[in-house]
A and B are shown apart, each in its own frame.
Chain A
Amino acid sequence: DIQMTQSPSSLSASVGDRVTITCRASQSIKNYLNWYQQKPGKAPKLLIYGASSLQSGVPSRFSGSGSGTDFTLTIRSLQPEDFATYYCQQSYSTPLIFGGGTKVEIK
C-alpha cells in the first residue's frame, strides 16, 4: 500500500501569512494527489485535484504543486476562513489513502 506522510501535523499562522503544507508519498503517484479542507463539524471539501488543478469555486490563493512523491499545498495569503485541517489523498491506486492531516490554527 502507498503511504502518505503530511507535514507539519499542525501550524500556527496569522492572517495574511503564506502557508505551505507538504505531502510525501511512499512511491511515485505521478500527479494523482488531491487536497481537501475540513472545518470542525463539517464534511471535507475538495480544494485541489491532480496535484495542481483548482476545484471550481475555490479561491485562487490556494495552489498545489508537485509530482512523483513530493507535493505542496500553498495558501498565498491566509484568510480567517482558511483556519481548518487540510488533508492530502492519493488517487493512484487502492487503498485510497489520506495523509494524517495538517491543522492550521490562528497565531
Chain B
Amino acid sequence: EVHLMESGGGLVQPGGSLRLSCAASGFTFSSYSMSWVRQAPGKGLEWVSYISSGGGTIYYADSVKGRLTISRDNAKNSVYLQMNGLRAEDSAFYYCARAVVTAGDVFDIWGQGTMVTVSS
C-alpha cells in the first residue's frame, strides 16, 4: 500500500527550529518528486516547497524562503523540512505529498499531516 507518514511536529517558541520528516512506503520513492503543503487551522491549503526526485531541483514559496529547507534521502525513503526562524504564522498542519507529473506536478498521495505550533 502506498503510504506517507509525517512526524516531528510540536510546540516551538518563535525564532525556534523544528525538523519535519516524511517516511514513504509502498512505491519507488526515488522516482517521485515530493512537496510539503501546509494548512493553518481553519484556513486553506498553502504549498510550501518542492523537491525533484533526485533532489537537484528545489522550489519554495516566498513566505518561507530563507527559513525553511527541503531535503530528501532516497536511501531512507524520506523527505525532510528543516524549519528555522519560526514565526507564529508558520503554525499549521504540515502535509507531505507525492507529486506525479501528468499535467504538471499533481499531488496524488498525501500523508496524514503533522501539527506545528509556534507560540511562546
Question: Which stretch of B11-19, B83-91, B109-117 is in the interface?
Answer: B109-117
A38 CA to B59 CA in the complex, in Å?
Answer: 25
A66 at the interface (CB under 8 A from B): no
Given contacts A44-B45, A96-B47, A98-B45, contact A89 B103 (CB under 8 A): no
Inter-chain contacts of A97 with B (CB < 8 A):
47
B26 at the interface (CB under 8 A from A): no
A87 at the interface (CB under 8 A from B): yes
Q: How far is the CB of A72 from chain B (nearest CB, A)?
A: 16
Decide if A95 touches B103 in the complex (CB within 8 Å): no
Nearest chain-A residue to B111 (Cβ)? Answer: A43
Decide if A95 touches B62 in the complex (CB within 8 Å): yes
A33 CA to B107 CA in the complex, in Å?
Answer: 11
Decide if B102 touches A101 in the complex (CB within 8 Å): no
Number of interface residues of B (CB under 8 A): 22
Nearest chain-A residue to B105 (Cβ)? Answer: A91
Decide if B103 touches A36 in the complex (CB within 8 Å): no
Q: Mark B53-74, 1 if CB is under 8 A from A, else 0.
A: 0000001011000000000000
9 other A-B residue contacts (CB within 8 Å) besides A95-B61, A95-B62: A32-B103, A34-B106, A38-B45, A43-B110, A46-B107, A49-B106, A91-B103, A91-B105, A101-B45
Main SS class of interface, A: loop
Given contacts A87-B44, A87-B45, contact A44 B102 (CB under 8 A): no
A45 CA to B111 CA in the complex, in Å?
Answer: 10
A93 CA to B105 CA in the complex, in Å?
Answer: 9
Decide if A51 touches B46 in the complex (CB within 8 Å): no
A100 CA to B108 CA in the complex, in Å?
Answer: 19
B35 at the interface (CB under 8 A from A): yes
Q: Identify B95's interface contact among A43, A49, A55, A100, CB under 8 A.
A: A43
Q: Mark A12-55, 1 if CB is under 8 A from B, else 0.
A: 00000000000000000011111010100011111001110101
Q: Identify A89's interface contact among B50, B107, B113, CB under 8 A.
A: B107
A94 at the interface (CB under 8 A from B): yes
Given contacts A43-B112, A43-B113, contact A49 B102 (CB under 8 A): yes
